[in-house]
Amino acid sequence: MQPNNPKLFVAKNLRKQIVKSICKFTSPKMPSEIEIVEEDAVVQSNDRESTAVNGGSTDNGVAVAGEESLRNDVYTAAAYGDLEKLHRLVESEGCSVSVPDSLGYYALQWAALNNRSAAAQYIIEHGGDVNATDHTGQTALHWTAVRGAIQVAELLLQEGARVNAADMYGYQTTHVAAQYGQTAFLYHIVSKWNADPDVPDFDGRSPLHWAAYKGFPDCIRLLLFLDSYRARQDREGCTPLHWAAIRGNLEACTVLVQAGKKEDLMVTDNTGLTPAQLASDKNHGNARRLLEKRCDGNSRLGRLSKLGLAPVLWFIILLLLGTYVNSVILASNLPKLTAGFGLLAWLAVFLATAGLVMFYRCSRKDPGYIRMNVHDPQNMKDDEPLLKIEINNPALLTGNWSQLCATCKIVRPLRAKHCSTCDRCVEQFDHHCPLGI
């Protein structure tokens, strides 16, 4: 055994990095809770690596050095991107890159997982199948989504990889990207290769469900921007907002609530619980308060509370103006005003009234609303394409996902912000006075 050999240590840990995207429902109290579990192959991988590191001793005393075992492994060479080793193993020793290892995974998948584009190109040129599936039905393209390996994904797609390939659980590449929060990768395959951002898996969950459950707000913004159906219910009757509430992902809940409607908050799952009730049941106080506040905000009293101090200020100004007219100008117990003072007094009333009128007219003007670009997935025709976004948009190319507005479906310019009172994006929000609403 060579515990101090860094090469063996790194290799041992590298081979453990297998896609962990299998899910199951398991909770006696909450049947609609997802639990991510590791593959059984992880244990087998540990045993295999331990054998390699310990030298692979046999009963008759013959031992094979762990380092020598790794040197003759095309899968490790592919994972490391070691082209020299791949050349020797394939061309000199006749090793094949088109057969799976003992765990059922292909060399191309290991290269894809670690974004080894040169190794992936070599494997494809020497017989590697870009659409080969392992025992879970996943292809190398699925594995690129785990770490957002855009370079290898682009290579695989150009070589004929199916962007809509699904594994045994119905996960497509967009599902895996959403599960691991790879927003840039998701944007790339949707905008350039027309991957479906709203396709459900075999349990009825779209990538938006997974992004909400795992708590990736940037992924949620992008998926909503791409018109993913936020009210889709899975087999358990849960919407993405239910999953965000179950995990208590406050930012995910905030994005979904801002982009949603009142009806989204009142949807119940198969157990009859709303997102707010699920958050309360899981003791997620902040998420529960957010959802309950949004529910209250959609009532008549809630809409009045959104106006803030504006009605109070208007009432005080009108009350003072009325008191001034009644107690000063028209008062019978005070000395009668001369013509000059009377003119000044009424001029003050006129200016105050004119100021209120102009203030009201100003509040009704457009403060600089940015045109909305909204599509309703429920009312869209089957042949109507989803909202297309510019692949050359600087904000998206630089990964500035916070400029995406999931409600207005636009890329906000700098200094613009979504006004929670107007429910619109306002250009140069710092000049938008909420008291003028």
Q: Tens digit of pLDDT for each residue in 198-242?
A: 999 999 999 999 999 999 999 998 898 888 898 999 999 999 999
pLDDT value of position 72: 60
Which of 16-25, 67-76, 203-212, 286-295 has the lowest average pLDDT? Answer: 16-25
More confident residue, 396 or 226: 226
Question: Which stretch, 36-45, 143-152, 341-350, 387-396, has highest mean pLDDT?
Answer: 143-152
What integer pLDDT is reported at residue 68 of this predicted model?
Answer: 42
Give the pLDDT band (50/70/90) at residue 245. very high
pLDDT attached to residue 20: 40
pLDDT value, residue 365: 75
Whole-number Å distance between alpha carbons of 298 and 423: 12
Write out pLDDT tens, residues 298-307: 555 555 555 5
Q: State the Cα–Cα distance between residues 72 and 355, nearest whole angstrom.
A: 85
DSSP string, 268-329: --TTS--HHHHHHHTT-HHHHHHHHHHHHHTSHHHHHHTTTTHHHHHHHHHHHHHHHIIIII
List the chain domain ranges: 7-302, 306-363
Mean pLDDT over residues 322-338, rounded? 77
Of 209-218, 275-284, 410-419, the one with minimum mean pLDDT is 410-419
pLDDT band per the 50, 70, 90 thresholds, residue 367: confident
pLDDT of residue 363: 73
What's the confidence (pLDDT) of residue 186? 93
pLDDT above 50: residue 141: yes
Q: How confident is the model at residue 400 (pLDDT cuts 50, 70, 90)?
A: low
Higher pLDDT, 124 or 389: 124
Tokens linked to 188: 């790339």
- Check residue 297 and give its pLDDT: 53
pLDDT digits (tens, 9 = 90+) for 282-317: 888 888 888 887 765 555 555 555 556 667 777 888
pLDDT at residue 12 greater than cutoff 60: no
Residues tagged active-site: 433
**55: confidence class by pLDDT, cuts 50, 70, 90:** very low
pLDDT bucket at 272, cuts 50 / 70 / 90: very high
> Picking from 70-84, 132-146, 325-339, 381-395, which range would have the lowest pLDDT averaged per residue?
381-395
> Residue 422, SS3?
coil
Mean pLDDT of 178-202: 93
Nearest partner of 5 among 44, 53, 40, judged by Cα: 53
For the stretch 89-126, pLDDT in tens is 999 888 999 999 989 999 999 999 999 999 999 999 99
297 burial (CB, 10 Å; 0-12 / 13-18 / 19+) is middle
Q: How confident is the model at residue 163 (pLDDT cuts 50, 70, 90)?
A: very high
Higher pLDDT, 376 or 406: 406
Kindly report whether the global pTM for this prediction surpasses the value 0.85. no
- Calculate what percentage of the chain has a pLDDT beyond 90: 39
Average pLDDT over the chain, rounded to an integer: 75
**What pLDDT is stored for residue 296 in this prediction?**
54
Cβ-in-10-Å burial (0-12, 13-18, 19+) of 174 comes to buried
Domain over 7-302 is classified CATH 1.20.120.1770: no
Residue 9: pLDDT band (50, 70, 90) is very low
Per-residue tokens: 356? 């209120």
Q: Is 37 in a helix, a strand, or coil?
A: strand
Cβ contacts of 293 within 8 Å, gap of 6 or more:
none
Question: Please, which pLDDT band fits residue 171 given cuts at 50, 70 and 90?
Answer: very high
